[in-house]
Structure 1
Amino acid sequence: MSKAAVTIFVCVSCRDSANPEGRPGAAFIDALRARLEERNLALAVEPVECMAVCKRPATIALTGADKWTYVLGDLGLEAHLDEVIDSAQRFAESENGIVAWKDRPTCFRKGVISRTPPLP
């Protein structure tokens, strides 16, 4: 992995439409941290109160210094936890945050909500 710091921001405020008391992002961040520990990987994971993508929980952002930022949504615990980690690793390995389509896990191909350029 490159030396550039990579952070996975996880929105923890969205509610589950099927279970208004449930917060998919809160469950996702806990599971993500546990899986990173199991896999002995050091990626920063930080909660965010709102990413304004409430209709597509769980939602994350992949960020890094001098890299494009990606926002991904519609993430489920069972289906996407390891894919998010693999996506973050590929993002970290890239020079500018842009990961080739063929190298993106499925959630990174299908779940992109936005891509924002790095600050100049």
Structure 2
Amino acid sequence: MPENSDHFLLICETCQGSDIADALRTAIADKLPSCFAIRGVSCMAGCSHPTTVGFQAADKAQYLFGRISSAQDIEALAAFAWQYQDSADGWTNATDRPPALYTKTLSRMPRILSGGQA
């Protein structure tokens, strides 16, 4: 994990297992901005849409994507990571995200400001 990480890509290790999560981690690691760290996590409640992947950073909206399974999905996640990094508040509209993620967005949670306000 990069020492200066302030953005996180979360990969669910539950529904599809840690082997799938590890394969996804290997496939995307070199494509992410340097500020990202990848974390394997237990269930993110996307069990009906495996494999699920989340994006998280302080003071930014958070995202959960599901049904991540192809090389095209991985490229779209990497493109979104750059977009997410460059966004001040993490907010993106569905039509602004990579097209491969359009039907794979499971949730967008509003940002929580450092002072605890949404």
TM range (shorter): 0.7 to 0.9
Instruction: List gaps (5 residues or longer) in structure 1.
Output: 16-22
Alpha-carbon shift at residue 100 of structure 1 (Å): 3.9
Helix, strand or coil for the counterpart of 2:73?
A: helix
Alpha-carbon shift at residue 33 of structure 1 (Å): 3.4
* Contact 2:5 2:37 survives alignment (8 Å): no
* Contact 2:64 2:105 survives alignment (8 Å): yes
Alpha-carbon shift at residue 78 of structure 1 (Å): 2.5
1:44 aligns with 2:37: yes
Q: Spell out, residue by residue over 1:29-82, the C-alpha distance to the aligned partner (whole angstroms, 9 max, x if none).
A: 433334433x47422110111111111001011111100101110111323111
1:75 aligns with 2:68: yes
Instruction: List gaps (5 residues or longer) in structure 2.
Output: none
TM-score, normalised to structure 2, is 0.77
1:33 aligns with 2:26: yes
Give, as a single letter, the amino acid of the residue that structure 2 aligns with 1:8: L
Whole-angstrom distance in 2 between the partners of 1:9 and 1:99: 18
Q: Give the RMSD, CA atoms, in angstroms.
A: 2.4
TM-score, normalised to structure 1, is 0.76
* Contact 2:21 2:40 survives alignment (8 Å): no
Whole-angstrom distance in 2 between the partners of 1:98 and 1:4: 19
Alpha-carbon shift at residue 28 of structure 1 (Å): 4.1
Matched residue, 2:7: 6
1:116 aligns with 2:85: no
Whole-angstrom distance in 2 between the partners of 1:69 and 1:7: 10
* Matched-pair identity in %: 23
Whole-angstrom distance in 1 between the partners of 2:100 and 2:19: 19
Whole-angstrom distance in 1 between the partners of 2:92 and 2:46: 22
